[in-house]
Amino acid sequence: MKLFKRIMLGLLILLVILVVAVIVFFKTAPQIGGTPAGDRLARMEQADNFDKGKFRNQVLTEMNMPFGTILKVMRHYLFGDKSRKQPQAVISTRPFQPDAFSRGGSDTVAFTWFGHSSLLVRIDGLTLLIDPVLEGKRASMFSFMGPERFAYQDHVQVSDLPEIDAVLISHDHYDHLDYPTIMALREKVDRFYMPLGVGAHFEAWGMPAANITELNWWDEVRLDSLTLALTPTRHFSGRGFTDRFNTLWGSWVIQGTKRNLYFSGDSGYFPGFKEIGDKYGPFDLTFMECGAYNEAWREIHMFPEESAQAHLDVKGRLMMPIHWGKFDLSLHDWTESVNRLRAKADAENIQLVTPEIGQLVLIPDEVIFEDWWKEYE
């Protein structure tokens, strides 16, 4: 009996230590960011899409995953076959060309994809960095666990980039908002645009409030000759275990004097895409989410066929699939999304833009893109 009591006491002490350690971690780990308060929270509370301390989607979005699905996902990540979940060889990348990137006429859009949803875009002579995840090695709050980036021949870092006029953030998930990258950008960029509430993270990381612009859905702001508009998506937010929906999420419309771009961020399929197309389309180029989907969470991430339909809804001409090629975030093979999209695009007569990682793309130049990923299947 005494032995049993000692065992139970030991387990209780271990449990208390674990709880205290978790609390201390969430109170002190800088990468988790900040919590909206004060004037920022007051502005959020005035928003029509904010209710009882949480932002909400335009359409009902179910977030409760069945317990059986949770077990399946955990089993997959712990014990599943990873041979087709990520490349089995180092992915060759194109050397980034900062000088060539900065050249081009007023009607030319230049962009380079760094994998997943990270893009460097030049339009109207202005350079925009979108959802940069360049310095961090994992899409996770932890440095020792969570989705690790794929092996690239060359991982571009902030120090490799040219002068940047502004950074755009779609939402605060770790695969879109990377603490080490933002810290590296803090002294390099002085204009950051993001959805409501996300600025709390930036201020917690030492960013001056004057450098932060937060927008609600359908808000517009001028950046020299550009119009930037934050538009709705069907998704969610959060960097911890208790802050889901605390900050807003969205997509970006980037209107130049001659070219019009759309960046989808993350989203399940919803009628809002057609609304965006009616208000801001047509678009010369869409950067459209295409990856990390599953039937269990299809309301917050599109299947490839839905991504193609979203491109048509917003009235896009060229389509560049993003949100793939860097992290293992679902149960499907790492190239399944782009292969399925290729088939749907052919059926719908959609012209895809599928550059290699690091490749410089100039629009409207005609470029033939190979299915480079098949080399790694």
231-253 confidence digits (pLDDT tens): 999 999 999 989 999 999 999 99
Residue 179 placed within a domain: yes
- Mean pLDDT across 273-281: 98
Residue 12 placed within a domain: no
Long-range contacts for 4-9 (Cβ within 8 Å, ≥24 apart)?
A: none
222-233 confidence digits (pLDDT tens): 999 999 999 999
Query: What 3-state class would DSSP assign to 339?
Result: helix
Structural contact between residues 250 and 233, judged by C-beta atoms closer than 8 angstroms = yes
Alpha carbons 218 and 209: distance in angstroms, whole number: 22
Handedness of CA 360, 264, 305, 318 (dihedral sign): negative
Question: 319 falls in which pLDDT band (50, 70, 90)?
Answer: very high
- If one compares 157 and 83, the residue with the highest pLDDT of the two is 157
Structural contact between residues 161 and 118, judged by C-beta atoms closer than 8 angstroms = no
Residue 76 placed within a domain: no
Percentage of the chain beyond pLDDT 70 is: 92
Residues in CB range of 279: below 8 A, 6 or more apart:
none
Alpha carbons 280 and 255: distance in angstroms, whole number: 9
Rg (alpha carbons) of the chain, rounded to whole number: 21
Question: 2 falls in which pLDDT band (50, 70, 90)?
Answer: low
pTM recorded for the entire structure = 0.93
- Residue 276: give the domain boundaries: 98-376
Residue 43 placed within a domain: no
In 3D space, the residue among 148, 145, 134 whose CA is nearest the CA of residue 334 turns out to be 148
Separation in Å, CA 75 to CA 14, 32, 80, 82, 295:
26, 26, 6, 12, 17
pLDDT at 340: 98
pLDDT at 149: 96
Q: Looking at the 3D structure of the chain, how many domains does it have? A: 1
Alpha carbons 103 and 86: distance in angstroms, whole number: 35
CATH code (residue 267): 3.60.15.10
pLDDT of residue 23 exceeding 90, the answer is: no
- Residue 159 burial (CB count, 10 A): 9
345-374 confidence digits (pLDDT tens): 999 999 999 999 999 999 988 777 889 999
pLDDT at 173: 98
pLDDT at 143: 87
Residue 175 placed within a domain: yes
Residue 86 placed within a domain: no
- If one compares 357 and 12, the residue with the highest pLDDT of the two is 357
Backbone angles phi, psi at 124, to 5 degrees: 55, 30
pLDDT at 106: 74
Residue 279 placed within a domain: yes
pLDDT at 136: 95
pLDDT at 35: 96
Residue 255 placed within a domain: yes
pLDDT at 4: 61
In 3D space, the residue among 262, 340, 329, 270 whose CA is nearest the CA of residue 300 turns out to be 270
292-308 confidence digits (pLDDT tens): 999 999 999 999 999 99
Alpha carbons 219 and 195: distance in angstroms, whole number: 10
pLDDT of residue 37 exceeding 70, the answer is: yes
pLDDT of residue 21 exceeding 60, the answer is: no
